[in-house]
Amino acid sequence: MDDQDLARRLQGGDASALRAIYEAHKDHLLTVATCLLLDRGLAEDALHDAFVGFAGQARTVRVRGSLRAYLAACVANRARDELRRRPRERSPAPEVEETVSPAPSPLEMASDCEEANRLRVALAELPYEQREAVVLHVQAEMTFGEVADQQAVSINTAQSRYRYGIDKLRSLLKAGAPQ
């Protein structure tokens, strides 16, 4: 069943539709939240808060476009709220999380884990607005128009934040690359 059918069922009061939407999108949205907040626990809280809010508005919410992008925007809003609540402090380097793939060799696992950690550390170095633009465009697959709406800025500003973020990521990853 596609997202539009699930959304219609949810608006009709079908609780199983909410469960199906959650199961279909939770992993992707958790990745988005983790990239934005750089903390798995806070990301899980943001994801659950977003779904509680979504469930509370289920009968009245009108999703224009992609449900996945709408939910990613909800998660990004929760992440932004969390960052506003936290005192302004430098985020510690994010922890390395294990990833599961079909039977990788130990060397491949170590290399993948190292690269993922380097990316997480580099993301932590970006100003939040740039990190959000990069994550929403790349990970959440939102258009620049959707990113601009989410950030309440012009499309040119969203594109600039993305471009500056990507440039800084390239620079940070290149500087930290093994010689």
Is residue 139's pLDDT more than 50?
yes
Provide mean pLDDT across the span 96-124. 64
pTM here is 0.77
Model confidence band, residue 5 (pLDDT cutoffs 50, 70, 90): confident
**Shared-domain flag, residues 75 and 102:** no
CATH code, 175: 1.10.10.10
Question: What one-character-per-residue DSSP string does 127-153 give?
Answer: -HHHHHHHHHHHTS---HHHHHHHHTS
Note the pLDDT of residue 127.
Answer: 95
**Shared-domain flag, residues 156 and 103:** yes
Closest Cα partner for 173 from 124, 105, 106? Answer: 124
Model confidence band, residue 110 (pLDDT cutoffs 50, 70, 90): low
Closest Cα partner for 46 from 69, 11, 24, 78? Answer: 78
**Which range marks the domain in which residue 12 is found?**
1-87
Q: Containing H/E element for 64?
A: none
Q: Six-digit token pair at 53?
A: 């809010």
